[in-house]
Each structure stands twice: as structure tokens, then as C-alpha cells.
Amino acid sequence: MSQITETLCGTSFSNSTVSALCQQSDPAVQAFRERPLSRAYPLIIVDAIYTKSREAGAVRSKGLLIAMCVNEHELREVLGFVTGDGESYETWSIFFQPLKQRGLNDVDLVVSDNHSGRVRAIKEHVHGAMRQRCQTHFSRNLLDKVSARQRSDIKTRLKDLYNSPDLEEAWRRHESLLDLLEPVAPEAAAVLDSGFDDITAVFNLPEAYRKRLRTSNSIERLNEEIRRRERVIRIFPNEASINCLIGSLLLEQHECWISGKAYFTMDGYYLDKNKARAAAVMIRQKQGKVA
């Protein structure tokens, strides 16, 4: 901690000062992690980053699982975080179970990438919520399966699909892109076809809310702030130090968000969300897809 404060603040602190800072921050971070979730949290984004800590005399990789949201009062929050050994289904279950016990409810959409353990845990623990697969991650996965000379054109067509005015037009652009891919990049065509429902779940929301929720970019910016501090340390002395330092950062960001500007105007969301979802269901049924 002394090394961190000297690097970030430009001055050194005594051992006693560092110890006092840690003693003050630990209870605050713990209270933050255990606070009741007493609002509705319709829109959630989850992600994980990896860091390193010492454990049993060895340096081990640790996954830091994080959830942020937009609550019913139009503000972002950091819902919670967990440090674990990776991103298995079991670890994500350990992450989601306390959120539910603390009162997580009324979730309409969860944005995430396509990690299998994460996807399974979302389906089992966030009942009734749609899952939006991050379009940025999806594009990378698909473009890895096309040749370099095709990549620019396919990338443009994917963006056109994402920017479709409605789900029906997105379906038409999907079919057109499939026709292009199948003869020249069948693996990419298979990725597009199997992932279409997941990357277009956001069309179940009113149009004004789609752009910010079709990727996990908002939580990626939070991850960048974590990385900026974490680079100073490189290897944490133990898991508790991860929770203390990064937990303090997340608490600070949370307080900034809940005292800042509205992220969305949620009046239109609650008025129009059922209409948008019903329209999407009709289009999926028309195309032989049951929502």
C-alpha cells in the first residue's frame, strides 16, 4: 500500500498511516458489498478482469467479477464484485447468489460476453431476464473466421446489422450477410446464425436505450480505471488486498455515479418497454424464432 500511495500521490506515507487507511477502508468496502439492493435494477452489465495475487507461496491468476447497472432512478450503480479463481459457472453462481439475497430484482436485460460459465449462471440465477451478447466481442469472434481481404466489408455489414432501425430490418441484413458468408467463410456464417438472437436481444428495448446497451463498453471503461491502479501493484500480496484496494475504487466510482447525472431518462423506458418487446416477439415468431 505504501508503494501504491507513493506512485499515485507522489509522496510516501508511514507504515502507521497506511495501516490506519486500510483499517478505515475495509469496513466501508464490506458495508458497500453487503448493502441491501432496495430498488429495481432493470439493466445490468457484467464482466470480469484478471489480476494476480500470492497464495500458498505461489503467484496465481484471480478473476474479479463485477456487475454494474442502471437503476429505476436513472442512475448507474456498482452492484457488487467478487474475487475468485476464474470464470467458471460455480464462480459466477457464487457471484449472483448474494446479489439475489441482497434484493436484486426486476432485471430485464443483462449485457455480457459469451463466456459459457457466465451465460449459464445468468440463465439460472437472473430468471426472466434477456441476455444481450456484447456486439463488440461478437464482431471480433466472427471476424477472426474470415480472410483479411474480406474483413473490412464484413465489418461494415455487421455495423449495418447492429444499426438496423428495427428487428425486422436486422433480420433482413442478417440473411443478406449469411448469403455472402456461406460460400466463402462457412464457419463465420455459422457463428452469425447461431449468435443472431443473442446479439439482437437489445431490440426488445425501446430504441432510445439500445445503443448504450448493445455492448459492454460502459463497464470496459470502469475496467480501464481498475487497470490504471492495478498496474502499479502488478502482484497483490493476497486476495484480501484485491478486495480492499479495488473495492475502494469501486465504492468511489459508485458514489460518483449515484450523486451524478442521470444515465438514461427511464420514464420512456417503462412506458414503451412492453410495446417494444411485444413487437420483437411478433417478428421472431414470423421468422420461426420463439422469443
Residue 72 DSSP symbol: T
Lowest mean pLDDT among 10-24, 103-117, 210-224, 260-274: 10-24
**pLDDT in the model for residue 26:** 82
pLDDT surpassing 50 at residue 291: no
**Amino acid identity, position 208:** A
pLDDT surpassing 60 at residue 14: no
Q: Which class would CATH give 1-132+216-260?
A: alpha beta
Domain ranges for the chain, please list them. Answer: 1-132+216-260, 135-214+265-291
Give this prediction's pTM: 0.88
> Which residues have C-beta within 8 Å of that of residue 4, sequence separation ≥ 6?
229, 232, 233, 245
Distance from C-alpha of 235 to C-alpha of 61, rounded to nearest angstrom: 9
pLDDT in tens, 127-176: 889 999 999 999 999 999 999 999 999 999 999 999 999 999 999 999 99
* Arithmetic mean of pLDDT, 241-257: 93
- The burial of 221, by beta-carbon neighbours within 10 Å (0-12 exposed, 13-18 middle, 19 or more buried), is given as exposed
pLDDT in tens, 81-122: 999 888 999 999 999 999 999 999 889 999 999 999 999 999
**pLDDT in the model for residue 271:** 87
In angstroms and rounded to an integer, the radius of gyration of the C-alpha atoms of the chain is 21
